Chains A and B, each alone.
Chain A
Amino acid sequence: MRVEMRVDGEPAAAEIDRPGESLLATLRDRLGLYGTKNACEQGECGSCTVLLDGDPVCACLVATAQCEGREVKTVIGAVPRPVRDAFIACGAVQCGFCTPGLLVSVADLLTREADPSDLQIREALAGNLCRCTGYEKIIDAVHAAAETMAGAVPDQAPARAHLRHDQWIRLAGTPRTAGDSREDAP
C-alpha cells in the first residue's frame, strides 16, 4: 500500500506492506531519514519525536498509513537555527542520541511560549529522556534559544549557562573545545 505525505516540506511516498508499520520505521528504513532516532518503540523516550500537522508526537506510535496527506516535520525541517546553536553552545549535547527528539520538542515549545519558565520547560520536555546531560544544560539551552529568538541580547548570562551569552553566540555552530569555556577548566 502506498502512502503519500509531506516530510520536511517535500512530498514523500512510501510503499508499506503491513498496516501497523510505524512512521518511525518508514522515515528511517524506507525514506532514509535517520535524524529521527529509535530507542524504545514504546513512547517512553521521545527520541523519535516529530511534528505531525504541527503537534509533537512519538513517530514510533503513529501508523504510517494514518499519515496519508499529512505534514510531517523531523529534526531537519522543524527546528530553527537558534535552537540547534543553543544546544551546542550550552553543552546540551553529549552522546547526542536524545538530541533530535529534544530539538523538535523545544522548537514546538518556543512557538507556543516565547519565554518559557523552568517549570514550563520541564513539563514540555517530560517525554524526552536524556541519559547523559542531567537536563540542566538542556534547560539552559532552551532559555538561551528563547533569548536569541526574541532578538534580545541580555546583558547577563542565562542563570545557569556555563558560557556567557556573547561567548556562545560566537561559538555557535563551531565545535567546542575545552578551552572555550572558563567554567570547563578544572
Chain B
Amino acid sequence: MSQTTAPFHTPADLAEALRLLAAHPEAVPVAGGTDLMVAVNYRLTRPAAMLDLTRLAELREWTDEGDAIRIGSGVPYARITAELATVLPGLAAAARTVGSPQIRNRGTLGGNLATASPAGDGHPPLLATGADIEIASARGTRTVPVEAFFTGPKRSVLQPGELITAVTVPKAAGPQQFLKVGTRNAMVIAVCSLAVALDLDARRLGTGIGSAGPTPLTAPDANLIELPWGRTGLFNDALAEEFGRRVAAAARPIDDVRGTAAYRRHALAVCAARALRRVWTAAHGGSGR
C-alpha cells in the first residue's frame, strides 16, 4: 500500500477530517460523489488526493432542536424524504425530485450546497424557510444564513479547508410547496423551480427560486404581498396571480439549453400562483387548484 500513488484520506471523525484538510489542502472532499465523480470520470478534474466524508457519523445524523431540525450535511436525500417529510415538507418534497433512487441514496445537501449550482433542488426550500448553514474548519465554526451563502454560479462563501457540517432548517409552521419544471418526471435538472413556505404563526411567506438566476434567489417583494389573514375567505385568484408576477419579477433568468429566460419567467409565475393557492387552501380550506 503506497500512500503516495493514491492518497485517499478516510478520517474517522469530524475533528480528524478538519485536521487532515488543513494539512492537505489539495485533498478534495467527497460525500455521495454524485457531482464530483461525474467530473472525475469525464476528466474535468483529477484530484491528487481525496478525503472521504461518508464515515463521519457527525455528518450523517439529524437532530430535533425544538423549533428547528439540524441536518448533518451528509444525510442522503433518501433519508430526508423518508424521515423528515412531516416536519420539513418543502425540503422533503424537493429531495424526492433529485435524480433517481440511486442518486438520492448517495447525494447529500452538503454536496448540493458546496456545488452551489443555481439549479440545485435543495436550495429553494432552504431559502423559503430561512435555513442556516454551519461551516467548520480547523480554525473554528461559523454559521451563514442561506441567503448569504451563494455568491455566483457555482460559487459560495465556502473557503478552502472548510467543510459544511450541517444545515439548520426551521420546522414548518404551515403548508409548504416545492414545484419543479422539467422535461420528464425523474432525472431532470430543473428548468426552473420554486419553493413556497407559509408560516401561520408569524403570518409570513417565504420563497426560494431555483434555476432562474446566477444563484438561487428569494423574492422579497413577493414575500411581502398582503394576505387576508383576518378574513381568509377573501383570498382570490387575483392575489395568487399578483404573487406570481412578483416572483417572476424577482427572477434573473437567462436563455440556455434547458429553456429561455421568457419561458422561465412565465413558468415561475404559473408555479408561484399555483403554490400560493395550494398552501393557502391547505391552511384555510377552499378550492385550491
Contact = CB atoms under 8 A, between A and B. Distances in A.
Interface of A: 1-2, 16-22, 41-44, 46, 49, 55-58, 60-63, 65-66, 68, 105, 123-124, 126-128
B52 interface: yes
Contacts, number: 108
Nearest to B51: A19
A57 B30 contact: no
A1 B41 contact: no
B3 A63 contact: no
Interface string B133-170: 00000000000000000000000000000000000000
Given A1-B7, A57-B106, A105-B102, 5 more contacts: A19-B8, A42-B38, A42-B42, A61-B33, A127-B102
Given A1-B3, A17-B6, A57-B106, A66 B30 contact: yes
B186 interface: yes
B42 A63 contact: no
Contacts of B7: 1, 19
A42 B41 contact: yes
Interface residues of B, number: 35
B23 interface: no
Nearest to B185: A126
Contacts of B40: 20, 22, 63
Contacts of A60: 37, 41
B186 A127 contact: yes
Contacts of B6: 1, 16-19, 21, 65
B105 A61 contact: no
Contacts of B187: 44, 126-127
B186 A123 contact: yes
Q: Which 6 A-B pairs have the closest CB atoms?
A: A127-B100, A126-B186, A20-B40, A65-B8, A1-B6, A19-B50
Contacts of A22: 37, 40-41
Given A20-B40, A46-B100, A56-B102, A65 B33 contact: no
Contacts of B106: 57-58, 61-62
Interface string B27-45: 0001011100110111000
Interface string B179-194: 0000001110000000
A46 B105 CA distance: 13
A49 B100 CA distance: 11
Contacts of B30: 63, 66
Given A49-B102, A63-B50, A1 B34 contact: no
B47 interface: yes
22 contacts: A1-B3, A1-B6, A17-B5, A17-B6, A18-B5, A19-B8, A19-B48, A22-B41, A43-B34, A46-B100, A58-B34, A60-B41, A61-B33, A63-B30, A63-B52, A66-B33, A123-B101, A124-B101, A126-B101, A127-B103, A127-B186, A128-B100
Contacts of A21: 6
A1 B1 contact: yes
A54 B139 CA distance: 37
Contacts of B115: none
B50 to A, nearest CB: 4
B1 A61 contact: no
B37 A63 contact: yes
B105 A56 contact: yes
A126 B33 contact: no
A56 B3 CA distance: 30
Contacts of A44: 187
A127 B3 contact: no
B54 interface: yes
